[in-house]
Amino acid sequence: MKIVYVDFVRFTPTETDLFEGYDLIVPFNNDANSDIKGYLVKASNTSELQKKLKKAKGFVGVMSEDLKVNREAVMRRKVCVILDFEGRKIDYTTIKMAKDKDVIIEVSLSKFLRVKGLKRAKLLDETRLLLKLLLKFKTPFILTTGAENQLEVRPRKQLYRFFYFLSKDGGIDCVELIKLAKENSNRIFRKLVDKKYIMDGIEILDV
Amino acid sequence: MKGLPPTLRKKRRYIAFKIIPEKKTKITTRQIYNEIQQTIQSLYGEWYGCVGLKLEVFYEENSEGILRCSRDKVDATLAALTLITEVENTKVAIKTLGISGTIKGCKRFLNGKEINTER
């Protein structure tokens, strides 16, 4: 089976050779004019999240700095993905629950591009720990660019190589990590594009 | 003094890359070399920061170049290139085009810069 690669961005993408290697780009920017597939929900507390989720439809992604909001989002049926940025807080329990509820955890590259020095060092360390937990619980996750503008995008090979090195350096099973990331990317692609796909193991066959 | 035999020499890798700037600004060889070196220093520090870096070629007109590093530090160099966002106050993105064991092999990845094999 051919592996397809999905990327999540926060702007309306235009053609650039930086998008090399991706089969589907999902923009999360709530722009009414574009043909969006992602629905971005930004919330600072749980009541705001619940309010915004009522209007949400499609492929919903939640972005929040609050740990409680992320934990609440994982428990909601409408939420498909917990989006990543430099201020995201996520813990052991949330990751474990995300596995049960089949919510995807995004691990993005662009957060490393927006910070420098000690902040970046801390982020790298946090990400290594996150990847370790994601592998331990086999929680669905995706490696993306998470770009907010055109210049934060990196080609697919470059992105995977970066996370390969990051996990290898942190003593994580890098081969398994990349394999799982590719599998999840495939699943998301089918969920968004393939109309016959319902869930893992269940799909409409031709009569 | 006789040189080291090939098996004992330091193995090198050549990385072809392209710079995509925000505006149409010309980036010089010195600027890009300094930026790569600073990023590697800030990422890995003095202890791991020696990756055998050398900017072999850089075509300023189309912002493409070839970077040399030691074979066991290829991943570290690529990670550093991925994290570069700015060169002399100009926002940029660096796209790696390919990796090769020789400069000649690496030039295949650059647009219209095929190596002249005639001597």
Domains of chain A listed by start with CATH number: 6-203 (3.20.20.140)
What ipTM was predicted for this assembly? 0.88
CB contacts, 8 Å: A109 with chain B = 82
- Topology, domain B12-107: Alpha-Beta Plaits (3.30.70)
> What does the block give as tokens for A152?
């934060």
From the list B79, B93, B96, the residue facing A165 with the nearest CB is B79
Q: Enumerate the β-bridge partners of residue B66.
A: B16, B57
Q: Out of A39-53, A97-111, B40-54, B102-116, pick the least confident.
A: B102-116
Q: At what angle do helices B29-48 and B74-82 cross, to 10 degrees?
A: 120
What is the mean predicted confidence (pLDDT) over A35-62? 89
C-alpha to C-alpha distance for A85 and A101, rounded to whole angstroms? 22
What is the mean predicted confidence (pLDDT) over B93-99? 94
| pLDDT above 90 coverage of chain A, percent | 63
| pLDDT above 70 coverage of chain B, percent | 93
> What does the block give as tokens for B89?
């106050």
Residue B97, CB-side half-sphere exposure with 13 Å CA sphere? 18
Q: Out of A200-204, B53-57, B76-80, pick the least confident.
A: A200-204
> What does the block give as tokens for A50?
């619940």
Round the average pLDDT of chain B to a whole number and report it: 88
More confident residue, A1 or A103: A103
Instruction: Give the model confidence (pLDDT) of A2-45 as tens digits.
Output: 788 999 999 888 877 788 889 888 998 877 666 667 899 999 99
More confident residue, B116 or A98: A98
From the list B42, B85, B95, the residue facing A117 with the nearest CB is B42
Say if residue A206's pLDDT is above 50.
Answer: yes
| DSSP label of B71 | G
Taking an 8 Å cut-off on Cβ atoms, the answer to whether A158 and B95 are in contact is: yes
Q: Out of B20-29, B33-42, B80-89, B106-115, pick the least confident.
A: B106-115
Q: Hey, how many other C-beta atoms are within 10 angstroms of the C-beta on A115?
A: 13
Q: Out of A26-40, A59-73, A86-100, B2-16, pick the least confident.
A: A26-40
C-alpha to C-alpha distance for A65 and A45, rounded to whole angstroms? 9
- Cβ(A163)–Cβ(A157) below 8 Å: no
Buried b / exposed e across A39-74, counting CB within 10 Å, b at 16+? bbbbbeeeeebeebbeebeebbbbbbebeebbbbbb
From the list B75, B76, B92, the residue facing A151 with the nearest CB is B92
Determine the residue among A9, A22, A108, A116 to mutate to test chain B binding: the one whose Cβ has the most chain B Cβ atoms within 10 Å: A116
Predicted confidence at residue A83, as pLDDT, reads 95
Taking an 8 Å cut-off on Cβ atoms, the answer to whether A151 and B95 are in contact is: no
Say if residue A73's pLDDT is above 50.
Answer: yes
More confident residue, B25 or B74: B74
CB pairs under 8 A between A and B: 50
pTM for the full predicted model? 0.90
| DSSP label of B107 | G
Predicted confidence at residue A72, as pLDDT, reads 94
Say if residue B115's pLDDT is above 50.
Answer: no
Q: Please give the full DSSP string across chain A, using - where no structure is assigned.
A: -----EEEESS-----GGGTT-SEEEE-S--TTS---EEEEE-SSHHHHHHHHHH--SEEEEE-S-HHHHHHHHH-SSEEEE---TT----HHHHHHHHHHTPEEEEESHHHHH--THHHHHHHHHHHHHHHHHHHHT--EEEE---SSGGG---HHHHHHHHHHHHHHTT--HHHHHHHHHHHHHHHHHHHH-TTEEETTEEPPP-
What is the mean predicted confidence (pLDDT) over A61-80? 93
Which residues have CB under 8 Å from B110's CB, separation 6+?
A: B16, B59, B64, B66, B97
C-alpha to C-alpha distance for A29 and A11, rounded to whole angstroms? 6
| DSSP label of B60 | T
Helix, strand, or coil here: B106? helix
Q: Counting Cβ atoms within 10 Å, is residue A15 exposed (0-12), middle (13-18) or buried (19+)?
A: exposed
What is the mean predicted confidence (pLDDT) over A123-142? 94
CB contacts, 8 Å: B93 with chain A = 18, 150-154
Say if residue A123's pLDDT is above 90.
Answer: yes
Q: Please give the full DSSP string across B1-56, using - where no structure is assigned.
A: -PPPPTTTSPPEEEEEEEEEESSS----HHHHHHHHHHHHHHHHHHHH-----EEE
Q: Which of A186, A147, A144, A135 is nearest to A162 (CA)?
A: A144
Instruction: Give the model confidence (pLDDT) of A162-201 as tens digits.
Output: 999 999 888 888 999 999 999 999 888 888 888 888 777 7
What is the mean predicted confidence (pLDDT) over A51-77? 92
Predicted confidence at residue A109, as pLDDT, reads 95
Instruction: Give the model confidence (pLDDT) of B18-67 as tens digits.
Output: 999 988 888 899 999 999 999 999 999 888 778 889 999 999 888 999 99
